Amino acid sequence: MKVLLQRQAIRLRVNEEELARLLAGDSVENLTQFGSDYGWGVAVSLHAGEQAELLHGGGTYCRLMLPHEMIQALATRLPCRDGLGIRIALDDDSVLQLQFDVDVRDSLRQRGPHRRARSAQH
């Protein structure tokens, strides 16, 4: 999983294998170590709720809980460049903007090109 942080925005990009793990009920994590005693990371899991949630991990990581149904719907559209834009309300009345994408190049390798024209003919 690739993670990009900038101000109040996080962009996550997973590959097909990580997407399959999420849909199977596993978590996907990215941890960066800053020496032997400290690091920071983000973990992503899916849940049955309708809203994305941010769980705090004591300053060393955060866990994002994303709606399973939303991620499953994205998976049915793959490969595609359009991911999900999700707004997460925070406890201080601010908002975290989350962009969740599946690596389109990996999707093309795994799934082949999306054939909308063929689907429209049937």
Give the pLDDT band of residue 122 (cuts 50, 70, 90).
very low
Query: Distance between CA atoms of 80 and 113, rounded to whole angstroms?
Result: 9
From residue 120, alpha-carbon distances to 64, 114, 116 in Å are 36, 12, 6
* Structural domains counted in the chain: 1
3-state SS assignment for residue 25: coil
The three-state secondary structure class of 89 is strand
Query: pLDDT at position 65, please?
Result: 97
- What is the per-residue pLDDT across 41-92, written as a single tens digit (0 to 9) for each? 999 999 999 999 999 867 788 999 999 999 999 999 888 888 999 999 988 9
Q: What is the CATH number of the domain that holds 96?
A: 3.30.1360
Domain that holds residue 38: 2-121
pTM of whole model > 0.85?
Answer: no
